Amino acid sequence: MKLGDTVPNFTFETNLRKNQNLHSYIGDNWLMLFSHPADFTPVCTTELAELVRLAPEFNRRHVEILAISIDSSETHRFFNGGNNLPFEIIADTDRKICTELGMIDPDEQNSQGMCLSARAVMLFGPDRKLKSKILYPATFGRNFVEILRMVDGVQLGNKAPVATPVNWISGDNVIAQPSLSQKRVINELCGGDPNKCKVVPLPSGKRYFRVIVGDAYLQN
Ligand code: BEZ
């Protein structure tokens, strides 16, 4: 899937329910589709535990979490022991969804010689379009602080014509998108106050690096 593509309306089964479809599942929320190789493996266990811990942070950002691996719904239920996970796990036993979304790791196989799912994160907006993705091999565990940072930055860019600089974290100043006219920067991002746009002096003398001080753009 490429950025901006609409996620297909897959029908799927999870540890909890059969015959769901992805578009209804998303509803008016964001969706983080989160693939992992298999339920009873050490790295996946650390990641799923971290996802349980951080689930309220995703909820606060209106992001539904939907995990997916190539295990069966029975295995997911066993792993889930008592249905206490704050998210559902898709049973993609035929690898249809993972294959179509490019979430397979060709280098890692299970005991039957079948490829495992990779460690992908796909963030879809309420419009069901792909806004961002991360793709790691099965052997490399993800950084959930970075995933939350990605959600924050992408949601911000979706709300206002801003961009976020290197190592930005929520609350830091943002940058006006380069294509935006100075008039729009002042009106739409600075609440009409030109002092809230600081142009960073550069050796080239060009005035493209415009930092927005404060968060007037969030009030719109
Ligand atoms: C794990 O989750 O521990 C794992 C899964 C596949 C390959 C390597 C590690």
User: In b/e form, how buried is each residue of 101-112, taking b as 16+ CB within 10 angstroms?
Assistant: bebbbeebeeee
Whether the per-residue pLDDT at 101 is higher than 90: the answer is yes
pLDDT tens digits along 107-148? 999 988 999 999 999 999 999 999 999 999 999 999 999 999
Residues of the chain with pLDDT > 90: what percent? 92
- List phi, psi (to 5°) of 186: -65, -45
What CATH number is given to the structural domain containing 196? 3.30.1020.10
- Look up the pTM and report it: 0.94
At 79, the pLDDT band (50, 70, 90 cuts) reads confident
Query: Domain check: are 168 and 100 in the same one?
Result: no
User: Would residue 44 show up in a list of annotated catalytic residues for this protein?
Assistant: yes
Average pLDDT of the residues of the chain: 95
Q: Which atom of ligand 1 is nearest to the CA of 44?
A: 2
Q: Which of 51, 98, 108, 111 to mutate to test the pocket of ligand 1 (most atoms within 8 A of CB)?
A: 108
Pocket test for ligand 1, best of 34, 36, 44 (most atoms within 8 A of CB): 44
- Same domain flag for 133 and 192: no
Whether ligand 1 lies within 6 angstroms of the CB of 45 is answered as no
> What's the CA gap between 48 and 66, in Å, rounded?
11
For ligand 1, the distance from its centroid to the CA atom of residue 177, given in whole angstroms, is: 40
In a domain, 148, yes or no: no
Angle at 8 between CA 102 and CA 161, to 5 degrees: 85
pLDDT above 70 for 82: no
CA distances from 90 to 22, 127, 187 (A): 11, 21, 45
Q: Using the predicted structure, report yes or no on whether residue 104 has a pLDDT greater than 90.
A: yes
Closest atom, ligand 1, to C-alpha of 45: 2
The parent domain of residue 65 ranges over 5-142
Same domain, 116 and 43: yes
